[in-house]
Amino acid sequence: QVQLVESGGGLVQAGGSLRLSCAASGIIFSLNGMNWYRQAPGKSRELVAVITSLGHTNYADSVKGRFTISRDNAKNTVYLQMNSLRPDDTAVYYCNFMKYWGKGTLVTVSS
């Protein structure tokens, strides 16, 4: 059974940083790409960052240069380091693998 469990969300002031974690189980983690999505209030879910099994990354234009996705295959964990946070980064952040989703972690950025 695939499980994705996010953690690390919280309240931060604009300009601050947070690091999200997603612990995966039930998959051969090292062989698979992982994604981070987010959904802001009243908006549709959007792709934020992607990391392939080889560690190649890609980002939404809105977070390029501020967010960094990484992975630790020994811990079956994918991370999202978020720097220079802005109020419009406020959203629930979800970890994703194929059709599987975590429950999300809320990030709130105050101005």
Check residue 23 and give its pLDDT.
97
47-91 tens-digit pLDDT: 999 999 999 999 999 999 999 999 999 999 999 999 999 999 999
- Show the tokens assigned to 90: 């406020």
Rounded to an integer, what distance in angstroms lies between the CA atom of residue 45 and that of residue 61?
A: 15
Three-class DSSP category at 12? strand
Q: Are strands 67-72 and 10-13 parallel, antiparallel or unpaired?
A: unpaired
Check residue 29 and give its pLDDT.
87
Q: Given a cut of 90, is residue 27 above it in pLDDT?
A: no
> Residues 84, 66: contact at Cβ < 8 Å?
yes
Rounded to an integer, what distance in angstroms lies between the CA atom of residue 5 and that of residue 19?
A: 14
Averaged pLDDT score across all residues of the chain:
97
Question: Cα dihedral sign for 94, 89, 73, 57?
Answer: positive
Check residue 31 and give its pLDDT.
87
pLDDT bucket at 4, cuts 50 / 70 / 90? very high
pLDDT bucket at 33, cuts 50 / 70 / 90? very high
